[in-house]
Amino acid sequence: MQHFRALALAATALAFSIAPALAFEPDSPECIAPAKPGGGFDLTCRIAAEGLKASGQLDQPMRVTFMPGGIGAVAYNHMNTTRNDDGNAIVAFSGGSLLNLAQGKFGQFGVDDARWLASAGTDYGAIVVKADAPWKDLKELLDAMKSDLTSIVVGAGGTIGSQDWMKAALLAQAAGADPKQMRYVAFEGGGESITNLLGGHIQVYTGDISEQGPHIEAGEVRVLAVLAPERLPAPYDQIPTAVEQGADVTWEIIRGYYMGPKVSDEAYDWWVDHFEAMYGTPEYAKVREDKGLFELNMAGDELTKYVKERVAFYKDLAQKAGLTQ
């Protein structure tokens, strides 16, 4: 009996000694930014690398690599072919990525061809005019757009079908006008858009609120509305939302991460657990705030549900705007 008891204890001890070795832990963590260095995808990867490290969720450095092309299309295809089961790699995505997915711009792959992992935070759209513009609030601008949409020149970063164009289209719809009749000027990004707004070449800029701080402080612009579901914290708490001004227009610009579609449950769950643990730390909050994003903490099933709902919303929006069939 003692012999069998000793064998049982030895087997139990062996099982416990092996179990931790079998549990997943990334041995070469990597965040892929689907663009060149310096942009929003780079920023998203830096949040993961710095936030996970600072909050004690990742012991080793996370490598950031770059894979530009198609606002995420090249990376999405890569993760569905070459590295579809790589448990070390997470990939940055944005609301623009989801908008492209909704419009079929990622080729044969759709929203189900990824394991949606975690969010990094969010930004929100903003309706911006010069400080001396004739419109004092959003209602006045919407009335002017309803009266004669073609009399107002709207500009932003991105061509027809982009996020910034979509914000302008929603604004036109809220005014009861046809978005296809908009006078829209496309620029390379927010910096060029603001320059042209201040120079009087466009009258309305549908940008992002996080970019506006210095221009508000300098008294150069007036933000007529923020496209958030409710008012944002200081220093933007005095800016009314579009919703509270009678226009049901919101635009969240989520930033987050996904993994390849065949990544194991053990690897996926490890990352989900560690992102969720990171969210509750002051170290992560500081990293996110320093990068200019607002709090939006979702991981695992919650994020997957959000992403699928958002892609469906964008698909419907694109169809109504005449961008897809």
Q: CATH for 124-245, among 3.20.20.70, 3.20.20.10, 2.40.50.220, 3.40.190.10?
A: 3.40.190.10
Asked if pLDDT for residue 22 goes beyond 80, the answer is: no
Confidence of residue 18 (pLDDT cuts 50, 70, 90): very low
Question: What is the rounded distance in angstroms from the CA atom of residue 319 to the CA atom of residue 136?
Answer: 32
Confidence of residue 33 (pLDDT cuts 50, 70, 90): very high
Domain spans of the chain, in order of start: 29-122+252-320, 124-245
| Shared fold status for 29-122+252-320 and 124-245 | yes
The per-residue pLDDT for 19 is 41
Q: What is the pLDDT of residues 289-324, one digit of tens each?
A: 988 899 999 999 999 999 999 999 999 888 877 777
Confidence of residue 72 (pLDDT cuts 50, 70, 90): confident
Express as a percent the part of the chain with pLDDT over 70.
93
The per-residue pLDDT for 13 is 47
* 29-122+252-320 classified as CATH 3.40.190.150: yes
Q: What is the pLDDT of residues 244-282, one digit of tens each?
A: 999 999 999 999 999 999 999 999 999 999 999 999 999
